Structure 1
Amino acid sequence: MTTRDAALRLRGLTKAYAGRTVLDGLDLDVRSGELLALLGPNGCGKSTTLRCVAGLEVPDAGSVEVAAEQHVSGRPVAMVFQRVHLVPRRSVLDNVCAGGLGRLGWRGLAPALFPTALREEAMGCLDRVGLADRAHDRAGRLSGGQQQRVAVARALCQRAPVLLADEPVSALDPRAAEQVMSLLRDLARSEGLAVVAVLHQPALAARHADRTVGLRDGRLLLDQPAGTVSAANLDLLYAGATPLEVAA
């Protein structure tokens, strides 16, 4: 991969907390149109990587480039969390519209004042995740899997070239987890997004990701096409981890 191919480029990313190194000079490139699964035992630096990319944490050293531009704050990335953080009493459509407010330069705008163009765009995002028919339902009435799909639609409304998903399926049942991962894969390909998903399920990564990256002790231990990751690779990655740190 050349630098021009990478929608997301990390170089020398380093982060420590209270003297403990969590990221140790991480280098990583992610292409547009690629779904990358980030695996590794608890505490290896997966979520910290995403938070540094999103600007939620400030790395101690290194650089983050999105769409070939180096950013210090306000990076053009969207993030989906394990907990979806929807406003349960608001409509599904209002929740998705909220994703577009930042790029429009608005904060705290009452839903009744959302521009028509933003509502139309949000409806298009809901259609992409298969929930246009639930646009006027309260978000709190949806299932966990549906709420996570709304969170993905909200991220799409940000129009960011990079989509980060931090354990997006860990709270979902197996069927909903498959649906969300399939959605992320399809969006990477159809929308040309660079998608990075932190997972604890190697089997999901093998079925849905284009590429698997494994971190251990803040360093890159594994980087190869998802379908080629062997049981021996995973044994090495998770050596010494507890059973709860790696699901079947």
Structure 2
Amino acid sequence: MMPDPMLTVRDARVRYGDREVLHGVDVDVTAGELLAVLGANGSGKSTLLRAAAGLTPADGEVLVDGRPRGPRDVALVFQHIHLVARRSVLDNVCAGALGRLPLRCSLVPALFPRAVREEAMGCLDRVGLADRAHDRAGSLSGGQQQRVAVARALCQRAPVLLADEPVSALDPAAAEQVLGLLTELAHTGGLAVLAVLHQPALAARHADRIVGLRDGHVAIEGPAHTDVGALYPDARELETAS
């Protein structure tokens, strides 16, 4: 029997004015699984992720571990990394804990409690960057900065990690490293990871399952090696995405 999903999205519908761009989409992600969401530009994949995160108003239901999604249930990693470049790597990761800390900690990073700093160091160790903890975040490469963003998400202690095109701005080697990290966090860390990707080949190598969207509908759902050509009406776009 399949385990109960950690993240459940049911009948998700999103409208922009008179135009419905997500048409009753259902998605499940179990703990320990990386689910890749694929599709051509404008297919609704980022809209689905933002609806699951509560960033975009949507009809339907989003559950985490069988309960309505709460504000601390999901952690987010974006294409645009949004680190504070002048702050240390460690301070950036500690920021993931702000949801459970006094407001003054967001104003004066030196006030992060020792326990949070130790937890943040553990998160950096999990992404292989503990040795860069005291460097300025802006001094890191793009791939390293994205790994810091993942560590910051881990510091939120959320059971669900949502990643919106987390590797689209990275070179191929860094993209492989970040996707491998997300897969490891799912498989060994027990997170439910939903990653919107624009590269079917990366999904085939790293994801456990895929969901493919076309025009706001689920067109494909299956194992990571499923043929996704039907998602890309323009063959040139599929070639670019691969």
Q: Is contact 1:41–1:246 with CA below 8 Å preserved after alignment?
A: no
1:87 aligns with 2:84: yes
TM-superposed CA distance for 1:104, in Å, is: 3.2
Question: What is residue 134 of structure 2 aligned with on the other side?
Answer: 136
2:163 is paired with a residue whose SS is strand
Secondary structure (helix, strand or coil) at the match of 2:75 reads strand
Residues 209 and 223 in structure 2, CA contact (< 8 A), matched pair in contact too: yes
The answer for unaligned runs of 5 or more in structure 1 is none
Q: TM-score, normalised by structure 1?
A: 0.93
User: How far is the alpha carbon of 1:75 from its aligned partner?
Assistant: 4.8
Q: Secondary structure at the match of 1:51?
A: helix
User: How many angstroms apart in 2 are the aligned matches of 1:113 and 1:244?
Assistant: 48
Partner AA of 1:115 in structure 2: P
Q: 1:240 to 1:151 in 2, by over 3 A?
A: same
CA distance in 2 between counterparts of 1:43 and 1:16 reads 14
Give per-residue Cα distances to partners, 1:44-96, cap 9 Å, x unaligned: 1111111111111110x21000121113x625100000010000000000000
Of all paired residues, the percent bearing the same amino acid is: 67
- Equivalent position SS for 2:150: helix
Give 2:19's aligned amino acid: R
Does the alignment pair 1:168 with 2:166? yes
Deviation at 1:21, TM superposition (A): 1.4
Corresponding residue to 1:208 among 195, 203, 206: 206
Please state if 1:54 is matched with 2:53: yes
Q: Distance in 1 between matches of 2:216 and 2:45?
A: 8
One-letter code aligned to 1:23: L
Give the aligned partner of residue 239 of structure 1: 233
Figure out how many residues of one structure are paired with residues of the other and give that number.
Answer: 241
* Pair 241,18 (structure 1): closer, same or farther in 2 beyond 3 Å: farther
Code of the aligned partner of 1:158: Q
The aligned amino acid for 1:208 is H
Q: SS where residue 6 of structure 1 aligns?
A: coil
Q: TM-score, normalised by structure 2?
A: 0.95
Question: Which contiguous aligned blocks of 4+ residues in structure 1 show a shift greater than 4 angstroms?
Answer: none
Which of 56, 60, 63 in structure 1 is aligned with 2:61? 63
- Aligned counterpart, 1:218: 216
Superposed, 1:50-199 pairs within 5 Å as 50-59=49-58, 61-71=59-69, 74-104=71-101, 106=103, 108-199=106-197
